[in-house]
């Protein structure tokens, strides 16, 4: 259905008629509802995993905001009200940028690893740190 709407230009027409400023609060509200439901439906001990899964999505948002700010600085460079700093994005942490590249994959992995560790500690197993990494001890 979406392909047909896009093919005939209906989506482009809707995007031209409805400003993004009007759509953004609706999408934000839907995202908040989904987030609230995630916290309600999962066990309370898994809350850290949910929060950790949100970090790559927030990184992607921050990367997009940095790009937009840098683009505006380059565009308005000669104007008096423009920022005098360079047009380079403020996000300089490599891990932050790599998480923001494809946020769904690191979010899923970090949440799954966190739930595994939480459940492992709950069952009575332990975590032992060694020189070569973390070893999960049997229960």
Q: Quote the tokens at residue 10.
A: 């209906």
pLDDT tier at 54, thresholds 50, 70, 90? confident
Task: Read off the pLDDT of residues 106-121 as tens digits, 9 standing for 90 and up.
Answer: 788 888 888 888 888 8
Range in 39-48, 49-58, 124-133 the model is least confident about: 124-133
Q: Is residue 9 scored above 80 in pLDDT?
A: yes
0.85 exceeded by pTM: no
What is the full DSSP assignment across the chain? Answer: -HHHHHHTTHHHHHHHHS-HHHHHHHHHHHHHHHHHHHHHHS-GGGHHHHHHHHHHHHHHHHHHHHHHHHHHHHHTTTSTTS--S-SS-S---HHHHHHHHSTHHHHHHHHHHHHHHHHHHHTT-EEEEETTEEEEEP-
- Confidence (pLDDT) at 82: 45
> Which residues are CB-contacts of 35 (< 8 A; sequence separation ≥ 6)?
50, 54
Q: With cut-offs at 50, 70 and 90, classify the pLDDT of residue 139.
A: very low
């Amino acid at each position: 259905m979406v392909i047909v709407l896009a093919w005939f230009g209906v989506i482009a027409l809707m995007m031209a008629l409805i400003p993004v400023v009007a759509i953004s609060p609706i999408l934000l509200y839907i995202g908040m509802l989904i987030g609230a439901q995630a916290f309600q439906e999962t066990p309370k001990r898994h809350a850290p995993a949910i929060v950790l899964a949100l970090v790559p999505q927030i990184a992607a948002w921050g990367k997009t905001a940095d790009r937009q700010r840098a683009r505006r600085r380059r565009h308005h460079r000669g104007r008096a009200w423009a920022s005098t700093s360079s047009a380079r994005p403020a996000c300089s942490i490599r891990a932050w940028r790599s998480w923001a590249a494809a946020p769904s994959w690191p979010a899923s992995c970090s949440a799954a690893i966190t739930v595994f560790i939480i459940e492992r500690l709950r069952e009575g197993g332990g975590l032992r740190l060694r020189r070569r990494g973390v070893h999960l001890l049997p229960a």
